[in-house]
Structure 1
Amino acid sequence: MTDLPPGLSALADRYDVLLCDVWGVIHNGVESFPEACQALVEWRTRHGPVILISNSPRPSEHVVEQLDRLGVPREAWSAFVTSGDATRTLLAARAPGPAWIVGPDRDMPLYDGLGLETAGPEDAAFVAVTGMVDDENEVPDDYRDRLAIAAERGLTLICANPDRVVQRGSRLIYCGGSLADLYEVLGGEVLMAGKPYKAIYDLALAEAEALKGGPVDRTRVLCIGDGVITDVKGAHDQGLACLFIAKGIHGEHAVGPDGRLDPARVEGLLAAERVGATHAMADLVW
């Protein structure tokens, strides 16, 4: 059974390094979560490094400004690794393309300096997806016909954000992973480097080793996240301990009518994806 600690402080003697998810754990895209941020500040002050590990499709230096704007204190984290950082290697190997690029303008820093040319699905050599162009109003099926053209041509789709949905305030917004799922349904091949895939964990652990000045004991690394098929599965596949934050994107399936964490619902949610979490909490608190 998943352990249910009252707060992060109860785990302080078991782990040295945190790999912490961002969206859904320390902010919701509109505001930061003060108690979660303070928990990370306390951990970093008292115990060790906190590596933020996000499925944002932008390189990490372009996401720090968003964290500052949302009120996430710099004291809450030691280093930051994104899916965008890990994905740039996949994109660079396919330059100059051309690539059919799908995503909003805010994600364009992902392609800076890679020398990629662009084309539509009829002429591209591969597809690069960060999300929907207008994620406030579009849904994956709006892209079905164009994705079908690329799939029929046998193009590989590189998805820089494996998340299927994310919280934006009180709403759930479709992300790049939902387009990747549709592409696979259409018969296309998909490559991803963010969570739950190995590449982003290798980057995060390398950051931890640099901060600690030596090797990191993987048995003393704790991953924190609210996504079962990204954060929990990623930790599970990498053999790392995981603290599942259950009131994130899965909140309605993990809490009872009283708004409190329901252990049976948590176990059912994890079992449905054939993964396990070492620990679970409703929200990240100290």
Structure 2
Amino acid sequence: MTQIIRSLSEISDRYDVLYCDLWGCLHDGYTPFAEAVEALRAFKAKGGFVLLLTNSPRPRASVERQLERIGVPRDCWDTIASSGDSARAAMLRGIVGRKVWFIGQPHDQGFFAPMEVLENAVEIEQVPLEEAEGIVCTGPVDPSADPAEMRPQFLSAKVRGLKLLCANPDIVVDRGETREWCAGALAQLYSDMGGESLYFGKPHAPIYELARMRLAQAGIDCPSERILAVGDGLKTDILGAQGEPIDSLFITGGLSRAETGTTDQPDPAKLARTLEQAQVEATWSIGFLR
């Protein structure tokens, strides 16, 4: 059973590395959460290492620029591992072919930028669906639109046996007070229709392999029992931690705020029911990262 805590400092001595989610934990897409920033700063001040583990479809440099625009201070984190970089590496190795149909917004074109560390990369060409060998999805063209609107195109793609590379397994995200669809919703729809979707972010193994590589690049060799995953996504952050396996801190005031009855802290009975229904286990739980 999960244990409810009031602050990260209560358990921080147990861990050397945090895998910290972004949306819903550190910011809401517009504004940093001041208490979360201070909690990460305090963890670093004690010698801890903060790796931002995000299902953003953006490359690491683009995520960093986004954090700067939002106002997340640079001194509260050390490095970034993004679903975007994990998925990009697979795409540039040709996992969905050379000619791809792109589903996403114009600001996600950075996904197709070369990766200097990758040798013998495939030259990717964006083409219409009828010419494509595969699909690359960074998210809906319109995040407010019903994913079911993609059924006609997905039916055509499925019949042709196209694979869909999903750059962000998240189903939804809260941008301020507005809930938006993510690439994971489209990938789930495609799979439900009988198509094949490929995932590289949480809770799937490739992004955790990338995280380990980032730690190694920083000269950190940390045993799994000294790593804590922090996140508000039960089927991404918490399920992914469970699969590693590493401990997890469930931020109940994010995506599951209503289900867990979170105002300042979660309602214990509702929290237990939410975890049971999701069929996941969180080591620790807290209303908000602080």
- Interval of TM-score (by shorter of Structure 1 and Structure 2): over 0.9
Deviation, structure 1 residue 107: 0.9
* Equivalent residue number for residue 119 of structure 1: 127
1:152 correspondence with 2:153 = no
* Equivalent residue number for residue 287 of structure 2: 282
* Equivalent residue number for residue 242 of structure 1: 248
Deviations 1:225-267 (A, max 9, x none): 00000000000011010000011011110115x6641122222
Summarize the Cα distance change of 1:131–1:214 in structure 2 as closer, same or farther, 3 Å threshold: closer
* Equivalent residue number for residue 182 of structure 2: 175
SS at match of 1:108: helix
* Equivalent residue number for residue 60 of structure 1: 60
Whether contact under 8 Å (1:25, 1:226) holds in the other structure is yes
Deviation, structure 1 residue 121: 2.2
Deviation, structure 1 residue 38: 1.0
What is the CA–CA distance in structure 1 between the aligned matches of 2:123 and 2:216, rounded to whole Å? 31
What residue ranges of structure 1 are gaps of 5+ in the alignment? Answer: none
Deviations 1:207-236 (A, max 9, x none): 22333x342111010000000000000000
Whether contact under 8 Å (1:121, 1:147) holds in the other structure is no
TM-score (norm 2): 0.94
2:4 alignment partner AA: L
Summarize the Cα distance change of 1:48–1:210 in structure 2 as closer, same or farther, 3 Å threshold: farther
What is the CA–CA distance in structure 2 between the aligned matches of 1:204 and 1:93, rounded to whole Å? 19
* Equivalent residue number for residue 103 of structure 2: 102
Map residues 8-27 of structure 1 onto 2, 5 A cutoff: 8-27=8-27
What is the CA–CA distance in structure 2 between the aligned matches of 1:153 and 1:207, rounded to whole Å? 37
SS at match of 2:129: coil
Whether contact under 8 Å (2:265, 2:286) holds in the other structure is no
* Equivalent residue number for residue 5 of structure 2: 5
What is the CA–CA distance in structure 1 between the aligned matches of 2:93 and 2:213, rounded to whole Å? 22
What is the CA–CA distance in structure 1 between the aligned matches of 2:197 and 2:36, rounded to whole Å? 34
1:233 alignment partner AA: L
* Equivalent residue number for residue 41 of structure 2: 41
SS at match of 2:19: strand
What is the CA–CA distance in structure 2 between the aligned matches of 1:44 and 1:11, rounded to whole Å? 14
> Aligned residues: percent identity?
38
Whether contact under 8 Å (2:17, 2:50) holds in the other structure is yes
* Equivalent residue number for residue 119 of structure 2: none
What residue ranges of structure 2 are gaps of 5+ in the alignment? Answer: 115-121
Deviation, structure 1 residue 110: 0.7
What is the CA–CA distance in structure 2 between the aligned matches of 1:264 and 1:96, rounded to whole Å? 48
